[in-house]
Amino acid sequence: MKRISKPVATVLLILGCVVIFFGFKYFQCYSPAPSKPAVVAKLPQRAKGNPTAKIKIIEFIDFQCPACATGYEILNDYFKKNPDGMYIELRYFPLQMHKHGLTSARWGECSARQGKFWPFLDLLLKRQKEWSDLTDPLPPFRAMAQEAGLDVEQIKVCLQYPGLEKPIQSDVEEGKMRQVVSTPSYLINHEMIVGTKSLQMKLDGLLGIKTTAP
């Protein structure tokens, strides 16, 4: 039997890998499993904007991530200019590398349960540098909660609630299912965008603004 030569083997190897890769991707795309959920349906407390807007954004966020704070500011600027043209929904994605990522998400969830998610988040991200490096971030969290008009006693009770982490875990699982690995990650009209530079470029494109990316 004639043996194949090294160049032929190399080409076959490369082609084999490419075929396997695209086959895998094809099955990933067309498997019936987790469907792309409607952006609008759930989590009204962590959503804002016009549910029928043309630009629908899901953001996977870690409240301790510095780029997320920048991204939040950028997104808010666009939102203020187009409040009817955008719909934003936030999903928790606390990263393990951030020691207060989960704690801040728990506080975020408790603020959502009191209907004050956005005012609390505004403060939390604006003052991220003030609590990010602290060993105990609870005093600033309490102060910000008060400032946002939250009932701090109710938050204490909420933080004890055993099912509190369920929505956080479910968001993290959804993020993983959507192949989110870092924050901030956005799904803009179901297209994945990662980081603030790409976010600006994408929104500029959608809104017909000449690019202002740094």
Partner 1 sequence: MKSLIPLFVLRILIGGFFFVVGFDKIMHPYQNFLYVVQAYQLFPEFLEEIVARIFPWMEFFLGLFLLLGLWLKWTLRSFLLIISAFLLMIAQALIRKLPIDNCGCFGGLFSSKIQHTFALDACLWVMVSLMLKHIVDTEKWSLDRYFLKTEK
| Cα-only R_g, the chain | 21
- Which listed range, 1-9, 77-85, 102-110, 127-135, lies at the site for partner 1 (CB under 8 A)? 1-9
Query: What distance in Å separates the CA atoms of residue 96 and residue 62, rounded to the nearest whole number?
Result: 10
Please select the residue that binds partner 1; options are 11, 14, 152, 157, rule is CB under 8 A.
Answer: 14
Contact (CB, 8 A) for 186 and 91: no
Q: Is there binding between residue 182 and partner 1 (CB under 8 A)?
A: yes
Does position 9 interact with partner 1 (CB under 8 A)? The reply is yes
Q: Which stretch binds partner 1 (CB under 8 A): 43-51, 135-143, 149-157, 191-199?
A: 191-199
Cα 27 to Cα 50: distance, rounded to the nearest angstrom: 34
Q: Are 49 and 83 in contact (CB under 8 A)?
A: yes
**Region 31-70 residues binding partner 1, contact defined as CB under 8 A:** 65-66
Q: State phi, psi for 164 to the nearest 5 degrees.
A: -60, -35
Q: In terms of Cα–Cα distance, which of 104, 96, 113, 114 is closest to 142?
A: 104
Distance CA 123, CA 119 (A): 7
Alpha-carbon span 95 to 34, nearest angstrom = 23
Among 48, 164, 195, 207, binds partner 1 (CB under 8 A): 195
Close Cβ partners of 208 (under 8 Å, ≥ 6 residues apart)? none
213 forms part of the interface with partner 1 (CB under 8 A): yes
Determine if 19 is a binding residue for partner 1 (CB under 8 A): no
- Told to check if 206 binds partner 1 by CB under 8 A, we report no
Neighbour tally for 118: CB within 10 Å: 17
- Judged by CB under 8 A, the chain residues 72 through 101 that form the site for partner 1 are 97
Only one of the segments 8-16, 45-53, 117-125, 162-170 lies at the binding site for partner 1 (rule: CB under 8 A); that segment is: 8-16
Q: Which of 11, 15, 17, 19 binds partner 1 (CB under 8 A)?
A: 17
Q: How far is the CB of 6 from partner 1 (least distance, A)?
A: 4
The window from 37-45, 50-58, 126-134, 188-196 that contacts partner 1 (CB under 8 A) reads: 188-196
Estimate the share of the chain in helix, then strand, then coil, as percent rounded to the nearest 5.
55, 10, 35
Q: Pick from 181, 189, 190, 209 the residue near partner 1 by CB under 8 A.
A: 181
Provide the binding-site residues for partner 1, judged by CB under 8 A: 3, 5-6, 9-10, 13-14, 17, 21, 24, 65-66, 97, 179-182, 185, 192-195, 197-198, 201, 213
